[in-house]
Amino acid sequence: MVVPGTLEVNSSADIELGDNKSNRGDALGNTVDMDKVRSWVDRAERVVVLTGAGISTESGIPDFRGPQGVWTKNPSAEKLSDIHHYMTDPEVRKESWKARLGHPAWNAKPNAGHLALAALERRGKLHALITQNIDELHQMAGNSPDKVFEVHGTMRKVVCMACGMTAPMQKALDRVQAGEEDPPCRDCGGILKSATISFGQALVPELIERAMRAAAEADLFFAVGTSLRVYPIAGAVELANAADARIVILNAEPTPFDEIAHAVFRGPIGATLPQLLRP
């Protein structure tokens, strides 16, 4: 059983950074106190963090696949995230604009988890912060934009699917509020969409490449609030592991990478991450 705030860890927990690989045991279920992980952070030079929707749930933004997730509660909502449905069905677009208008992200503030990652950057430890999130709460918490790799884009901008024009989301939301159910691009009349990567849309190859390169340079890697089921991003864990980085996973539910991780924490991220990253 995993007690919130404690962890499962493999038996390599006691060895030094750098020679972890050959000592990895399979004795998951050992516990180690948070001091051990803090000592890894103290000695690490290039910490890479991968975040998912789970880091923002305590800011009031639901995830997709967790027990309270948007898709878990309403599987048909997945349609709104599919580019094919979005481009071909005006009703899906109208629903999407309504969902954007009422999105909890507009009132959300960074929580203790986000703030802990900003503090990690101030300590000079953060090599890269790869996020699947589209809410920009990492930047609002104080992480510098050049450290944050937004591999799924941002919901705070719109993009025209025809001419590529980008603009602040708020301008489009103002038009929706004023009665336009599916506001077209003012430049060319094309379909507007949030500047996020929907299912069926290609990721930005250069960005993914840079994120993956950063993961391969990590000496300590945290995966935080992500189910690690979506590739190629989940592959960042594999790359860090292949580079002999220590792997720490914070997620309420099991992930496919728990067995290769040096430590797995199940407790709430907002309480756990600040304790692990405290100097």
Q: Which is nearer to ligand NAD, 227 or 241 (CB)?
A: 227
Phi and psi for 97 in degrees, rounded to 5?
Answer: -65, -40
In the complex, least distance from residue 60 CB atom to ligand NAD, rounded to whole angstroms: 10
Task: List interacting residues with ligand NAD (CB under 6 A).
Answer: 52-54, 56-58, 61, 63-66, 69, 132-135, 152, 225-227, 230, 251-253, 268-269
Instruction: Identify the three-state secondary structure at position 250.
Output: strand
Q: How far apart are CA 249 and CA 178, in angstroms?
A: 44
Instruction: Identify the three-state secondary structure at position 54.
Output: helix
Q: Which is nearer to ligand NAD, 119 or 233 (CB)?
A: 233
CB atoms within 10 A of CB 272: 23
9 - beta bridge partners?
30, 263
DSSP state of 164: -
- The structure tokens 């840079």 sit at 210
Instruction: Identify the three-state secondary structure at position 232.
Output: coil
Q: Where are the alpha helices (DSSP H) in 6-130?
A: 34-43, 70-73, 83-88, 90-101, 112-122
Q: Which is nearer to ligand NAD, 60 or 164 (CB)?
A: 60
Catalytic residue among 114, 127, 138, 152: 152
Q: Which is nearer to ligand NAD, 48 or 53 (CB)?
A: 53
In the complex, least distance from residue 43 CB atom to ligand NAD, rounded to whole angstroms: 25
Q: Taking phi first (over 0 means left), then psi (-120 to 50 degrees means alpha), and beta for anything else, what does residue 200 get?
A: left
In the complex, least distance from residue 277 CB atom to ligand NAD, rounded to whole angstroms: 15
Please answer whether residues 172 and 158 qualify as being in contact, where contact means their C-beta atoms are separated by less than 8 angstroms: yes
In the complex, least distance from residue 10 CB atom to ligand NAD, rounded to whole angstroms: 20
Residue type, 93: R
Task: Reply yes or no on whether 127 is catalytic.
Answer: no
70: which residues sit within 8 A by CB, 6+ positions away? 62, 63, 64, 77
DSSP state of 185: P
In the complex, least distance from residue 67 CB atom to ligand NAD, rounded to whole angstroms: 7
Instruction: Identify the three-state secondary structure at position 127.
Output: strand
Q: Which is nearer to ligand NAD, 172 or 185 (CB)?
A: 172
In the complex, least distance from residue 211 CB atom to ligand NAD, rounded to whole angstroms: 13
Q: Which is nearer to ligand NAD, 37 or 185 (CB)?
A: 37
Please answer whether residues 180 and 171 qualify as being in contact, where contact means their C-beta atoms are separated by less than 8 angstroms: no
Residues marked active site are found at: 152
